[in-house]
Amino acid sequence: MKKVLVLVYCCFSFCMFSQLISAADSSTQLENYIRFNYENDFFTATDRYYTQGLQLTVIHPFIKYSPVSKTLIRLKQATSNYYGATLEQNCFTPVSIRHEEIFYNERPFTGTFSLAHQLTSLNFNKQIALKTQLEIGGIGKCARCEDEQKAIHRALLNIQPQGWEYQLSNDVILNYKIGLEKGIINTNYFQTIAQTTVRFGSLYNDVSAGLNVRVGLFTNYFKNLGLEKNYLKTTASKYKIYVVVKSNAKAVAYNATLQGGAFNNSNVYTLNANQISRLAYDASAYIVLAYKHFSLEYGYAYITKEFENGVDHGWGKCTIISNF
């Protein structure tokens, strides 16, 4: 029933967005960039739950010629449309990796690996961004998180994790995401953005809403995703430094990393639907340092418990972006 409600909400969201959607392309010269993001709870001296994430993103106009781009949505009268592709791996473990048997009432071991095709459509005049993404991949042993975590622990002369033999079975990921962002306060040194996101498919079914605050010396987010390349042609400063703080509330209908995939029911162990926390909160804060076409981000993320017997969790993140 909850899945149905989320799908109904998604249809409603499509209707709301339809007034903004158009097939027209923007003539604005676009920036291209490569982004590598690394997240790990090693930064917070823990080794549990969302324990590691890797994302490699390429933004380039050529990606719009992929047939998958036809599934993505653009804003009417968009200032610019940024097409991208992301390779992503995320790894999850229970609160402890020292249990040789199944750790009941805890998060199951699992990993995800996917290729996402995305579009960020910007309207600078209205301070609006519409983000859509189609994600295809796999969950389970195919993500190779077991091999990766064991290799890292061997290299660091740390204890070997126990319990990966009970990880979720391999299954298919097919997920769609729609996000809408609207600038609320926009000045040269302070920006507040409201955001809402809907995800539905075989991996996640949830709805979230929150705020994004930026303080410091930066490029307006709705100008060109906050990138520096074209902006520096019209400003004397080659440096940017600012702080980003995000907060979010999420209503959850389904989470395959906890409940198992949607198509394969052969899992040794999963959490039941009644064990899932239907409301979760997350927040993150990071500092961005940019010089010419390069930027570096470093920060911390936090999330409240995602299931009945869980605990809050935090991890660190580091991101490198190169414009070209």
In this predicted structure, what is the pLDDT of residue 36?
A: 97
CA pair distance 126, 182, nearest whole angstrom: 8
Beta bridge partners of 183: 193
Q: What is the 3-state secondary structure (H, E, C) of the chain?
A: CHHHHHHHHHHHHHHHHHHHECCCCCCCCCCCEEEEEEEEHHHHCCCCEEEEEEEEEEECHHHHHCHHHHHCCCECCCCEEEEEEEEEEEEEECCCCCCCCCCCCCCCCEEEEEEEEEEEEEECCCCEEEEEEEEEEEECHHHCHHHHHHHHHHHCCCCCCCCHHHCCCCEEEEEEEEEEEEEEEECCCEEEEEEEEEEEECCEEEEEEEEEEEEEECCCHHHHCCCCCCHHHHCCCCEEEEEEEEEEEEEEEEEHHHHCCCCCCCCCCCCCHHHECCEEEEEEEEEEEEECCEEEEEEEEEECCCECCCCCEEEEEEEEEEEC
As to burial, measured by CB atoms within 10 angstroms (0-12 exposed, 13-18 middle, 19+ buried), residue 10 is middle
CB-hemisphere CA count at 13 Å for 21? 15
Sign of CA dihedral 181, 183, 188, 190: negative
In this predicted structure, what is the pLDDT of residue 286?
A: 96
In this predicted structure, what is the pLDDT of residue 201?
A: 98
Q: Are strands 279-291 and 80-93 parallel, antiparallel or unpaired?
A: unpaired
Contact at 8 Å (CB) between 298 and 288? no
CA pair distance 180, 209, nearest whole angstrom: 10
Per-residue pLDDT of the chain in tens (324 residues, 90 and over written 9): 444 344 434 443 433 333 333 333 333 455 789 999 999 998 888 889 999 999 999 999 999 999 999 999 999 888 899 999 999 999 999 999 999 999 999 999 999 999 999 999 999 999 999 999 999 999 999 999 999 999 999 998 888 999 999 999 999 999 999 999 999 999 999 999 999 999 999 999 999 999 999 999 998 999 877 664 444 344 446 789 999 999 999 999 999 999 999 999 999 999 999 999 999 999 999 999 998 888 999 999 999 999 999 999 999 999 999 987
CA pair distance 135, 179, nearest whole angstrom: 14
Q: Are strands 294-303 and 33-40 parallel, antiparallel or unpaired?
A: unpaired
CA pair distance 204, 251, nearest whole angstrom: 11
CA pair distance 74, 87, nearest whole angstrom: 22
Any idea what the CATH number is for the domain that residue 96 is in? 2.40.128.140
Domain that holds residue 170: 2-323
Beta bridge partners of 298: 287, 318
Count structural domains, the chain: 1
In this predicted structure, what is the pLDDT of residue 2?
A: 40
Structure tokens at 172: 């298919």
In this predicted structure, what is the pLDDT of residue 32?
A: 87
